[in-house]
Structure 1
Amino acid sequence: MKIIKLDATDSTNSYLKTLLNKDSVDDLTVVISKHQKNGRGRNGSIWVNDPSLNLAFSIYKKFENLSVSNQFYLNIISSISVFELLKKYKVQQLTIKWPNDIMTANKKISGILIENNFRGSLITHSIIGVGINVNQAKFKNLPNATSILNKTGFKNSLDDLANDLIFIFKRNLNNFQSKINTLSSFYNQSLYRKNIKTEFIDNQKKSIIGEIVSVDEKGILKLKKLDGHYKNFMENEIKMKI
């Protein structure tokens, strides 16, 4: 296992992808940066962070027989790993916002971006990127963001957090397919706004109001609509309105 520490980079995920294009990369290689200048989130969103205050982290994982149909397993594992880390650092009221943002109360404290490489029906490797707001107190133009500092009142070492997160990821990625039922159950128990009336926006900009019932192991969200009917959605079909 190799750990690469950087003062700054555009994106830790992009840095790992550049390494992969140049040479072979050891399984579970980790890239950590004090400053991520162009951090990326899901659907092209940008993660804005102040230098040396937050954790930008990416881990590379090889697979031999992980089916494309089971790719949401990685969302489950990654979300739970970050959830565990934040719980260890005394952050309260933690939930997982489908598919893989971590919330505390109604504010986002961490985001995850997973980029997979496919060969036929298998995933050959993944790069799991994690951004955690750690010691930043103010978030300009981001009213729904918060940090470990804001929630606990304590500053923390980014190196300590990174080491703890590496340990948790290594443990959870070990033979995870045999533990997926337990992990999926925990993921569902921890869902943000589960069984609470919530507004979503679909791809046609139409409003959908309903209650989250569950998320299955393929990542499909089951929603109970106001008329009592149930409908399933994939993650690229609707977005929660906060």
Structure 2
Amino acid sequence: MKIIKLDAIDSTNSYLKKLLNKESLDDLTVVVSKHQTQGKGRNGKVWVNKHSLNLAFSIYKRFSNFDIDKKFMLNVISSISVSETLKKYNLCDLTVKWPNDIMAGNKKISGILIENNIIGNRIKYSVIGIGININQSEFKNLPNATSIFIETGKLNSVERLTNELQKTLEKNFDKFKTNEDELLNIYNSLLYGKNEISNFLTNNTSKLQGEIIKVTKNGKITIKELNQQFSKYADSEIKLII
């Protein structure tokens, strides 16, 4: 497994995608950078990365026959891998806020951005970007953000965490070949707010209250509403409010 280390870049995802247009890369090639000037989050949001304090990580995953209908499993694999890696750092109450934010308590410690290259109804390859807050001590204007250092009071090696995350991703991609349902069950066991009454905002700005039950294989969240009705929503249709 190859790791490309950079000092500064606009975005590790963008760098890796440009590299793929120029040359053939080994499966599970990783790009990491000490600093990102234009780190990307989901839905066009910016991922803030302080120089050398946090992990800016992108991994290339090649597929031979990956049906686009299973694309949410990439979120499952990535979220579980980050959670399993972070558990080694004595963090309490690690959960996955659907679809793929990693939470420590009620604060976000990691985010994931997945970009797929699709031909027909198959995913040819994915570039999975992962940001993890490691040694940053404060987040101005980001009250819902945290880091390993804030949670534990300990500084940690970014390089060590990089290697652990790469190995864990490889393990879970291997597991996906034979234990797809097991991975989804693990993901559901990690759901933030599961079996609790939570507040949501739909894409037409209506407010909704309900209990998170599970997430399906195609990525829809199942909510038991206050009227006891069960409803399913895609992540483009509803947002969990913290």
TM-score w.r.t. length of structure 2 = 0.98
Q: Which amino acid aligns with 1:8?
A: A
The secondary structure found in structure 2 opposite 1:178 is coil
Give structure 1 regions of 4+ aligned residues with deviation exceeding 6 angstroms: none
In the TM superposition, residue 175 of structure 1 has moved relative to its aligned partner by: 4.7
Q: Structure 1: which 5+ residue stretches go unaligned?
A: none
Quote the Cα distance in structure 2 between the aligned partners of 1:106 and 1:211. Answer: 17
For 2:46, the equivalent position in structure 1 comes to 46
In the TM superposition, residue 25 of structure 1 has moved relative to its aligned partner by: 1.9
For 2:216, the equivalent position in structure 1 comes to 216
For 1:229, the equivalent position in structure 2 comes to 229
Q: Structure 2: which 5+ residue stretches go unaligned?
A: none
For 1:103, the equivalent position in structure 2 comes to 103
Quote the Cα distance in structure 2 between the aligned partners of 1:183 and 1:175. Answer: 8
| CA deviations over 1:29-60 (Å, ceiling 9, x no partner) | 10011111111111111111211100000000
For 1:191, the equivalent position in structure 2 comes to 191
Q: Which amino acid aligns with 1:64?
A: S
Q: Which amino acid aligns with 2:93?
A: Q
Please show how residues 126-137 of structure 1 align to structure 2 within 5 Å: 126-137=126-137
TM-score w.r.t. length of structure 1 = 0.98
For 1:141, the equivalent position in structure 2 comes to 141
The secondary structure found in structure 2 opposite 1:40 is coil
Query: How many equivalent pairs are there?
Result: 242
Quote the Cα distance in structure 2 between the aligned partners of 1:149 and 1:60. Answer: 28
Quote the Cα distance in structure 2 between the aligned partners of 1:186 and 1:175. Answer: 12
The secondary structure found in structure 2 opposite 1:201 is strand
| CA deviations over 1:180-230 (Å, ceiling 9, x no partner) | 111111111110001111111111111111111100111110011111111
Contact 2:49/2:56 (8 A) holds in 1: no
Aligned-residue identity in percent? 56
| CA deviations over 1:126-151 (Å, ceiling 9, x no partner) | 00110000000100100000000011
In the TM superposition, residue 87 of structure 1 has moved relative to its aligned partner by: 0.1
Contact 2:6/2:34 (8 A) holds in 1: yes
In the TM superposition, residue 177 of structure 1 has moved relative to its aligned partner by: 3.1
Q: Which amino acid aligns with 1:148?
A: I
Q: Which amino acid aligns with 1:90?
A: N
